Every structure is written in C-alpha cells, then in structure tokens.
C-alpha cells in the first residue's frame, strides 16, 4: 500500500483518538521492543529509547515512509512476523497496532509472539475488533468483500478474546474509539 495515502486516510482517526492512544500505550515502555507491522512508522515518535526497538513490516512502500521518519538507532527490517529468524531474538515487549485484522492467522501470530517474548514479557495491541449486536452482524456480512478491497483487513475478528485464549493474561484493555459500530481497542497482556 502507498504509505502516504495510508497516512492521509488515517489522519482523522489519528487526530480524534489514535495518536493519544499510541502515546499512552507506548511512551513508558522500557527494555527490548519488537514492533510488528510498523507501516509508515507512526509509533516511532513515542519510544523512549529507539535503540531498543526493532520494527518489521513486509510492505516495501510502507517501509519507505517508515525509514524517512525513523529515529537514529531504531532498527527497521523488511520482514513479516513469520519471517523473523527466531534464534537469538527475545523481547520484553511486542507492539502490534492495526495489524492483526490483516494477518493471515492471528492465532498463529500470537504463537509466534510467545516464542519471541521473554518470560513475563508483554504484548501491546491497538486493533479494531468485531462490534456487538447489529454492527457485529454487519461486520460478519461485509468482511468477505471488505477484505478483498482493503488489503486483507477483517472487520469481524475477536482479537482480544483470541489473545486470552492463546495464553496471555490481560493486564488492561479499553475502547479508545468507536466508528460506525467498530470498536478500536487497546490491550496490554502478559505472557503467563
Ligand atoms: C493497517 S497497517 C498499520 C500500520 C501501523 N502499525 C499503524 O498502526 O498505522 C498494517 C500493516 O501491517 C503489515 N503486515 C501485514 N501482515 C503482516 C505480517 N504478517 N507481519 C508483519 N507485518 C504485517 C502491513 O504490511 C501493513 O504495513
């Protein structure tokens, strides 16, 4: 996806809620951090020590923008989560924002994260999830078509439930924005 177009489309959401949610979630993190699907690098400004961060994304167009805003010391790699050479990598935190809606298999993604985290490590998510009631039914109905036109994005994922089913213990979660029935949620969860 063209990174500049993506940033333009997201501008309103960032202004209303997402930018503040990113700041709250990321600005106090310490230790080794992996950011999965960094896109255009919108989270980079919030890391206290960029030299502790490795950011990955397989999309070269998004990475072009990410590299242009990348602070000194932050490492950017053109990898998907499934491409990370697991040996020699262990992180205190894994950050994943607006990514799990479009990975092929979010359950598999959580299993990979478990292998990449140190014991007691935490994941920090900002994701949109399936709504409740009528919006939820519409999300179910629209996802097959929507995912074709929106780069594999699924409106109907129950990401927080899956996070807990995958063996993470929820530390905190909150809804930061609801846009036409679509909740955008943040969550911090610990590897048990
Ligand atoms: C909607 S963008 C979100 C970008 C950024 N994280 C944000 O918060 O704005 C989703 C990003 O996830 C990346 N992505 C998709 N599947 C991935 C995977 N399996 N591993 C790593 N990144 C992935 C895409 O290339 C894209 O840049």
pLDDT 10s digits, 4-31: 999 999 999 999 999 999 999 999 999 9
Q: Using CA atoms, how far apart are residues 6 and 123, in angstroms rounded to an integer?
A: 24
In this predicted structure, what is the pLDDT of residue 88? 72
Q: How much distance in Å is there from the Cα of 153 to the middle of ligand 1?
A: 10
Smallest Cα–Cα separation from 55: which of 38, 32, 73?
38
Q: How much distance in Å is there from the Cα of 55 to the middle of ligand 1?
A: 11
Q: How much distance in Å is there from the Cα of 105 to the middle of ligand 1?
A: 13
pTM: 0.96
Residue nearest to atom 14 of ligand 1 (CA): 37
When pLDDT is averaged across residues 170-190 and rounded to a whole number, the result is: 97
Residue nearest to atom 1 of ligand 1 (CA): 98
Q: Using CA atoms, how far apart are residues 46 and 7, in angstroms rounded to an integer?
A: 17
pLDDT over 80 (residue 103): yes
pLDDT digits (tens, 9 = 90+) for 65-92: 999 999 999 999 999 999 888 777 799 9
Domains of the chain: 3-129+156-191 (3.40.50.150)
Binned at pLDDT 50, 70 and 90, residue 105 comes out as very high
CB-based burial, 72-90: b 16+ in 10 Å, e otherwise: eebebeeebbeebeeeeee
**What percent of the chain is modeled with pLDDT above 90?**
94
| Helices of type H across the chain | 3-13, 19-26, 60-68, 106-116, 133-149, 159-165
In this predicted structure, what is the pLDDT of residue 19? 98
The beta-strand segments (E) located in the chain are 33-36, 53-56, 75-77, 91-97, 117-128, 168-179, 182-191
Contact 30, 91 (CB under 8 A): no
When pLDDT is averaged across residues 151-178 and rounded to a whole number, the result is: 97
Q: What residues line ligand 1, using a CB cutoff of 6 Å?
A: 36-39, 42, 56-59, 62, 80-82, 97-99, 102-103
pLDDT over 80 (residue 96): yes
Contact 189, 168 (CB under 8 A): yes
pLDDT digits (tens, 9 = 90+) for 41-66: 999 999 999 999 999 999 999 999 99
Residue nearest to atom 12 of ligand 1 (CA): 37
Q: How much distance in Å is there from the Cα of 157 to the middle of ligand 1?
A: 15
Q: How much distance in Å is there from the Cα of 147 to the middle of ligand 1?
A: 14
């Amino acid at each position: 996806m063209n990174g500049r177009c993506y940033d333009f489309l997201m501008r309103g959401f960032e202004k209303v809620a997402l930018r503040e949610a990113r700041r709250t979630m990321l600005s106090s993190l310490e230790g080794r951090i992996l950011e999965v699907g960094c896109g255009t690098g919108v989270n980079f400004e919030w890391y206290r020590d960029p030299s502790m961060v490795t950011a990955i994304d397989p999309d070269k167009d998004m990475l072009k923008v990410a590299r242009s805003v990348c602070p000194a010391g932050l490492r950017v790699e053109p990898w998907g989560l499934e491409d990370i050479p697991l040996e020699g990598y262990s992180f205190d935190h894994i950050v994943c924002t607006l990514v799990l809606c479009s990975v092929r298999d979010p359950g598999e993604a959580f299993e990979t994260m478990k292998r990449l985290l140190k014991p007691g490590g935490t994941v920090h998510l900002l994701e949109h999830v399936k709504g409740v009631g009528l919006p939820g039914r519409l999300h179910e109905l629209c996802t097959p078509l929507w995912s074709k036109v929106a780069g594999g994005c699924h409106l109907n994922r129950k990401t927080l439930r899956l996070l807990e089913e995958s063996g993470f213990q929820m530390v905190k979660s909150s809804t930061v924005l609801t846009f036409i029935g679509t909740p955008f949620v943040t969550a911090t969860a610990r590897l048990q």
